[in-house]
Amino acid sequence: MFVVDSPIGPLGVVTEGDVVVGVRFGAQPRPTGEHRATEELRAYFAGELTGFTVPVEMRGGSEFERAVWAEIARIPYGEMVTYGAIATALGDPGAARAVGTACNHNPVPVIVPCHRVVGAGGKMVGFGGGLDRKRRLLELEAKVSLTRLWG
């Protein structure tokens, strides 16, 4: 596991070869080697990267969870989508809570941006890394988006 220092605390990045298979919040800081994922995460937190290119393998999860993760991966940088909208996109408008559970089980948070999923009306609810981390990630992306828009 590689550890990346970030504004939301240390992140543990689990890899197999070049592929990221996990990201863990609150990893124990320790000396770490370099991996393309660590470079991309540092660039993301510096506001220099708005789209990850590192290969990711989403392991585990039910068929529904994998479908949710695929929808989450399509949410553009700096944008938010509701749990209900994802449930509707998957053909089950009543499954907003199940979408929330799937988001909580996302094995590769930040890179697969479950922090961009919010409650109805944009409410800040639920996040496996805690609401403070979710808020900080959304604020970072909003700031970078505004800076790019207005210079």
Active centre residues (catalytic): 114
d(Cα 66, Cα 103) in Å, to the nearest integer? Answer: 10
Partnered with residue 13 across adjacent β-strands are: 2, 23
Joined together, the tokens standing for residue 135 give 């808020």
- C-alpha dihedral (71, 96, 140, 131), degrees to nearest 10: -140
Distant-in-sequence contacts of 63-71, Cβ < 8 A, 24+ apart: 64/90, 64/95, 64/98, 64/102, 65/101, 65/102, 65/105, 68/99, 68/102, 68/103, 69/102, 69/106, 69/112
Helix (H) or strand (E) holding 60: none
Cα of first residue to Cα of last residue in the chain, in angstroms, is: 37
